[in-house]
Amino acid sequence: MDFIDLAAQYRALKQPIDKRIEHVLTTGQYILGYEVADFEAQLADYVGVKSCVSCANGTDALQLALMALGIKSDHAVFVPTFTFFASAEVISLVGATPVFVDVCPDTFNVCSDSLQAAIEAVHEEGKLVPKAVIAVDLFGLPANYPKLQKICEQHNLHLIEDSAQGMGGEINSKKAGSFGDISTTSFFPAKPLGCYGDGGAVFSKDSSTAELLRSLRLHGKGKDKYDNVRIGLNSRLDTLQAAILLEKLAVFSLERQRREQIARVYTAELSEVVDTPYIPAGYTSGWAQYTVKVEHREKLQAHLKASGVPSMVYYQTCMHQQTAFAQTNNYVEFSSAEKLTGLVLSLPMSPYLTEQDQQKVIYAIKSFY
């Protein structure tokens, strides 16, 4: 059993994917070919935003978003401490200062009370200018954007949505990737909408921001590629990856429904033995991961491994505990996040997970407890 069965997905989509790849190889348009613009348009339509600008990976997408918003050295950017390193890394890459905040123990997403306290503490200290919030749609569940938007409006902050894991998630039928002033995603193979390499995208609500992003992703391009009007990056989605993503996007809604069905089976069978994911009313998860909270995690993982069931821990170390951020000032406590690092365990999740494998996972966990 694979933790995420990408091979099964390819077998299901082999004919249309191979045809797309063959077309790119035949035309030879490997960089910013037709498929890139086509995919950007289709994904923008799916998410429900004005523009989608693709790039080389999800980390670049976040950095491009910060660059487009003019984030610089004297700015503070608030980010949850319970997330993947890239969410915080990009803040330092543009010269700004990450300010970590705690997360909610039930949704795993940024805690609005902790965020408010951190903003007020930075204001009171007076050394940094609070400028933006990066909210992460962890494990597929959108963050509490109604609350976050109010806080950002109150303090005149940009809201950036990191929906790398969020694709397919919704709040009251509004899709992940559409909540931030600017939003980003990743097409890393393990993501709900993943390619066969690296890829990413930035979503914007206006054409001027999209044009700025297109310049930034191509060395600060002006009227042509030899007219450089600003400092940018070399960050483009390969045409081959865009071609693959076009076919994956075509079945993405069906795959998300299948993830939902699997998640419901897990929850129905496991809720009496482990702490299963909490989905607030009106919210839908993209189920990038199905993550439970468990006791005796190391022993459980060993038992699962012996039973032929893979599992993963996202994440064992908070951002404020990382060596790279050892010198970063902390303004709030992180009691929920620090506790979660010792409890969370992600189970196999894929639209192509068979019923037999689902029951194998369920039986292995139940037999342990």
DSSP reduced 3-state for 119: helix
Q: Closest by alpha carbon to 240, among 81, 6, 19, 8?
A: 19
State the DSSP code for 70.
T
Q: Closest by alpha carbon to 155, among 183, 133, 139?
A: 133
List 366's β-bridge partners, or say none. Answer: none
**129-136 and 75-80 as β-strands: parallel, antiparallel, unpaired?**
parallel
Q: How far apart are CA 80 and CA 92, in angstroms?
A: 15
Backbone angles phi and psi of 39, in degrees to 5:
-65, -45
**Catalytic residue chosen out of the listed positions 191, 248, 293, 360:** 191
DSSP conformation letters of 135-157: EE-GGGPPP-HHHHHHHHHHHT-
Active site residue 14: no
Query: 83 CB contacts (<8 Å, ≥6 apart)?
Result: 136, 138, 162, 315, 319
Sign, Cα dihedral of 94, 177, 134, 256:
negative
- Residue 220 backbone class (left: φ over 0; alpha: ψ -120 to 50; beta: rest): left
Residues catalogued as catalytic = 191
